[in-house]
Amino acid sequence: MSKVYRSREGTVTAVDTKTQLTTVGSETAPGPLLVPAGAKSLSAVLAAFGADCAVAADGAYLIRLEGPGLPEGPETIAIGASGSGVATGGCMNVPSERFPLDIPVTPANEILVFAECVGEDTGSITIGATLEFTV
């Protein structure tokens, strides 16, 4: 049994606004994120965020997964949060976290990946998610 990884990233700039993650760095149009052939499950999500700390505020960040690749329906995962007391001089550096899952998938179908900031508007937040498929 091996694993295959698919990633998307994007920048969230408003609170309570679902933002689709559609790029992979230098790949500006990678196309749909398809469940790999032979995949048995979505076994985990790896996620990270980088916030510019430009606002004295606090917020939390969600990853939403939707689309025909998920036969049981959409899923939402809380991946982290950040806050700053002042809008000048703050900085952050965090490693990804792995969120273990066991979600059925439909091979060759698309999964849409969204990110969202909730709570207060913390500025610009770049959020990335890697879907770990067990095949």
Partner 1 sequence: MSRTLTVEGDINAVDTRVNLTAQGSVTAPSLVVPSGMTKIRSIYTTFAADNLADDGAVVLLVRLGGAAVMNGESVLVCGGLGGQLPQAGSDVAPSIGSPFKLEDLDIEVRASDTISISAEIAGVDPGDTTAAVTVVYA
Chain residues in the site for partner 1 (CB under 8 A): 1-7, 9, 11, 23-26, 28, 36, 46-54, 87-96, 98, 123-130, 135
What is the closest distance, in whole angstroms, from the C-beta atom of residue 86 to partner 1 in the complex?
9
What is the closest distance, in whole angstroms, from the C-beta atom of residue 70 to partner 1 in the complex?
19
3-class state of residue 35 by DSSP: coil
**What is the C-alpha separation between 41 and 71, in angstroms, rounded?**
11
C-beta of 28 vs 72, nearer to partner 1: 28
What is the closest distance, in whole angstroms, from the C-beta atom of residue 94 to partner 1 in the complex?
6
Residue 58 and residue 122 in contact, taking contact as beta carbons nearer than 8 Å: yes
Kind and range of the H or E element at 122?
none
Q: 79: phi > 0 → left, psi -120 to 50 → alpha, else beta; which?
A: alpha
- Residue 71 CA to its chain's centroid (Å): 19
Residue 77 and residue 99 in contact, taking contact as beta carbons nearer than 8 Å: yes
C-beta of 73 vs 118, nearer to partner 1: 118
C-beta of 26 vs 72, nearer to partner 1: 26
C-beta of 12 vs 70, nearer to partner 1: 12
What is the closest distance, in whole angstroms, from the C-beta atom of residue 73 to partner 1 in the complex?
24
**What is the C-alpha separation between 117 and 13, in angstroms, rounded?**
8
C-beta of 67 vs 90, nearer to partner 1: 90
What is the closest distance, in whole angstroms, from the C-beta atom of residue 63 to partner 1 in the complex?
10
